[in-house]
């Protein structure tokens, strides 16, 4: 075999070796063959690996979103009404902050010097949290604050029951609902006792649902989560 023939044979062997090293592993696709959509989907989580279906489909279902929307608006309306009535904005259905302060004093839980501040802070917290729920903005934060208020209310009611203190008008929703809304008003303005405790536990359950699920449909929280 001549020297030129040996050179030709070596060149063919090296060429075949280069082609084998550049060929893709079976089952894999080269980066050049990927279209932009494939590359985008292949890097969803930033690590070059697509998220599993359980993480891709973590949005609440339609029925849950509708339930959250109805719950959010119901709780919002209830607490906006409650706070506005306590602040004296709804004189036909509620009292004034002075009368709400008197109701707080009957509980004998807060120090006398803290009652005037509480008579304004509590209603405004209810109104602000209610407005937050209306727009579905910071829904979980509003639900946490309302749950804290409800826990404090339940604690005060239990102390009143244990001590045997007779508090017929707690002004929980302004103090005049029973005169204007019949049975619903009587339920919401029930005297301190098992019914009022159960009412607040029911409201806590609704707030806990919002804390778990968020705003649902038509909430600003969903817009901020998409960014």
Summarize pLDDT for 162-221 with one digit per residue, the tens: 988 887 777 787 666 656 666 777 777 778 888 889 999 999 999 999 999 998 878 888
pLDDT at 14: 55
Residue ranges per structural domain of the chain: 80-225
Token pair of 93 as six digits: 């259905």
When the pLDDT of each residue in the chain is averaged and rounded to a whole number, the result is 77
Q: How confident is the model at residue 158 (pLDDT cuts 50, 70, 90)?
A: very high
Residue pair 175/189 in contact by the 8 Å Cβ criterion: yes
Cα distance between residue 161 and residue 130, in whole Å: 29
Is it the case that residue 76 has pLDDT exceeding 90? Answer: yes
Which residue has better confidence, 59 or 58? Answer: 59
Q: Which helix (H) or strand (E) holds 175?
A: none
Rounded to the nearest angstrom, the gap between the alpha carbon of residue 66 and the centroid of all alpha carbons in its chain is: 14
pLDDT at 50: 46
């Amino acid at each position: 075999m001549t020297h030129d023939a040996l050179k030709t044979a070596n060149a063919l062997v090296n060429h075949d070796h280069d082609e084998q090293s550049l060929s893709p592993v079976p089952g894999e696709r080269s980066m050049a063959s990927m279209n932009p959509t494939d590359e985008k989907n292949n890097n969803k989580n930033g690590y070059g690996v697509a998220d599993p279906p359980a993480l891709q489909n973590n949005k609440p279902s339609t029925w849950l979103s509708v339930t959250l929307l109805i719950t959010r608006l119901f709780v919002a309306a209830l607490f906006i009404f409650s706070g506005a009535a306590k602040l004296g904005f709804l004189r036909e259905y509620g009292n004034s902050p002075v009368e709400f302060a008197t109701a707080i004093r009957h509980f004998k839980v807060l120090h006398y010097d803290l009652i005037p501040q509480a008579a304004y802070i509590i209603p405004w917290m209810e109104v602000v949290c209610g407005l937050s729920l209306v727009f579905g903005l910071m829904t979980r934060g509003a639900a946490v604050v309302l749950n804290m208020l409800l826990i404090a209310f339940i604690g005060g009611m239990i102390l009143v029951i244990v001590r045997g203190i007779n508090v017929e008008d707690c002004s929980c929703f302004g103090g005049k609902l029973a005169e204007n809304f019949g049975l619903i008003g009587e339920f919401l303005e029930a005297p301190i006792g098992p019914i009022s405790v159960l009412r607040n536990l029911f409201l806590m359950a609704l707030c806990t649902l919002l804390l778990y699920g968020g705003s649902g449909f038509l909430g600003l929280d969903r817009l901020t989560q998409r960014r």
